[in-house]
Structure 1
Amino acid sequence: MRSNFQAHPFHLVSPSPWPINTSGSLLSLTTALVLSIHGFIYAIYFLIFALTSLIVSMSLWFRDVISEGTYLGNHTLAVQRGLNMGVGLFIVSEALFFLGIFWAYFHSGLSPTVEMGAHWPPMGIQAINPFELPLLNTIILLSSGVFVTYAHHSVIQGNRAGALFGTLYTVILAIIFTVLQGVEYTVSSFTISDGTFGSCFYFGTGFHGLHVMIGTAFICVGLWRILAYHSTDNHHLGLESSILYWHFVDVVWLFLYISVYYWGS
């Protein structure tokens, strides 16, 4: 007779189709994006299909993970430590990604070449005033970090209303930040094709904006799980991970504001 007894605290994951589906969707998405950039006919439809496939695959994968942790009780303390370590290593990899962007920016900014007019920003480029929209966005993003921290402490203290209030206001401020970032792009006097400065500016701020949108979706899931009574004072790993990710986004923006907006202007 087979025994269901498990002599260790770790979760042995059941076979799942979602990792391979997600990998295939990501491959299709990157291929379709490159084809679209190069103007291939009908590539945009391939891009939309790949993006839809990716969203569906990841949503179903996350649904299974939520079921394992919330309803099946598979996320023991040992499993939670491993997941925390995974999120931490992921954030470290993201920090190294942004380090490459800052490296490229300062490589040109600290010693601008003759082709740039030996000047930074290069001659002919009018930098964005750091004390207008960028400063407002900084205040908004830091305020969202305060609200999400308040939500975290409210969950730990069992304050459901405070947790809902904090996460909801964080999402609202994140959406406002994203909209204002889009407005900034539309009124900017330079584009991504305007040399090293334009490339580094839009690459850095654009990828940060992408991280803000991902973090917003992350926190929206946490908000939904609070509404669904999934999060408790001692079991809210998903929400805690989203909050850690959001603080990382805050810190990166501070570096962007100081170096790209303030020093770069």
Structure 2
Amino acid sequence: LKKINSTINFQIVSPSVWAWRSGRVKQLRKFVDTTFCLFKFEHEYLKKHDVNSFHVGHPFQDIEKVEDVSSIKNRYGINNDSECLTFLVGSRGSEISNMLPIYKKVIKKVYENNKSYSFLFPVANQDHKNIIQAELSELEPPVFVQIDKMKEFLSLSTFTVSTSGTASLEAACYGNIPIICYKTSLINYLILKPLMQTNLIGLPNLILGKNVFPELLQNQCTPNEIFDAFILARENKDQLALRVANVKDLIKGNGMTEGARYLLERVDSASRSR
């Protein structure tokens, strides 16, 4: 398309060139007139590499918690006096297979430490619900698995154990302190590790530009390590809650309206110059 003089190319949502396969930034510079970025750190990375970009911001900036938590607990049979810990186990079958046995042991350890906890699993579909319920059915602790109830469950919890990805950012935007976990097969890890351009993998930490929230990866992603990170996060809840609020502030960009105006101005300018 770029070979056609009259064509203006816009990239809606930047590829993760800052994280891996950084050579792709050359293609953006050569073939794309403007890249619209969800995150400020992406925008700054592209500017540093002479790629024209516009920081539009992330739609999670508009997230709002459900205030009436008692009605949510009553709806799903959750004890009104219980504290809630949400697990975001992943959106792919391989992630669920890798992470669920680990999270199962974490649930046992948390419940042994504090019997007031209920454990929440919002899932995307019935297949995932069936897998999780089958794996956790014999547990003594109260576990609740529901489809499409991310907003409700994250409104109940203060902490979230999250398989790394967009879910950790969504949790933070609901005011949850994320404990970010990821484990894959050894072969996948050995292939992916050399391609990574950053030591951080959690979006909340990338947005803050430092390792604020726990990241437990590969060999560190064990029940004991996750439990210890949870206990430490509880002890530092007030300080971490402030950083969670910072995350939501930092994902605000120029906005969709300004992004659309910018795009139309570029198109109009190009049309008049023909």
Q: With the length of structure 2 as denominator, give the TM-score of the two structures.
A: 0.22
Task: Flag the structure with higher strand content.
Answer: 2
